[in-house]
Amino acid sequence: MEVLLQCKPFQDFSPFELYDNLRLRSDVFVMEQNCVFLDLDNKDQFCHHVLLYQNGVLEASARIVPPGVSYAEASIGRVVTSKVVRGTGLGKQLMQASIDHCQKLFGPGPIKIGAQVYARKFYENLGFEQAGDVYDEDGIDHIHMIRR
């Protein structure tokens, strides 16, 4: 199994990479989770994106959001893994790489995320702690979490 991990700013995406990333996000967030929302939120252009390919297929991605765009802190969002790789450890690999790149880009400091409640344990195992009450976002329960 060949795994390739990249981190690149939005403006460096090829049209094919952009399509693959938006398709993966749509497959999971819209089709699988049956969530109608505006994925194209005018933040991608300011972000770096972590892309994880397995055997040449984009299977997971996340975006690294600069401080001041979503929250005062740096953030990691739009974390997505395809159904076929869940439970293989690639999601953890994606998040660890995203944390590492976030710290390289913005220095040490807190990272804030808006996590789906069902994934709380996953993020806690990566050093995130709950930082607020449950809230509804697009019909799905979320919580803010911070990694210090």
- The DSSP-derived string for 22-91 is HHHHIIIIIIIS--------S-GGG-EEEEEEETTEEEEEEEEEPTTTSSSSEEEEEEEE-GGGTTTTHH
What residues of the chain score a pLDDT lower than 70? none
Whole-model pTM?
Answer: 0.95
Q: How far apart are CA 48 and CA 128, in angstroms?
A: 20
pLDDT at res. 138: 86
Q: What does the alpha-carbon distance between residue 133 and residue 131 come to, in Å, rounded to a whole number? A: 7
Complete domains list, the chain, with CATH? 3-108 (3.40.630.30)
Residue type, 67: P
DSSP state, residue 117: G
pLDDT at 12: 98
DSSP label at residue 128:
-
Q: Which two tokens stand for residue 16?
A: 């094919």
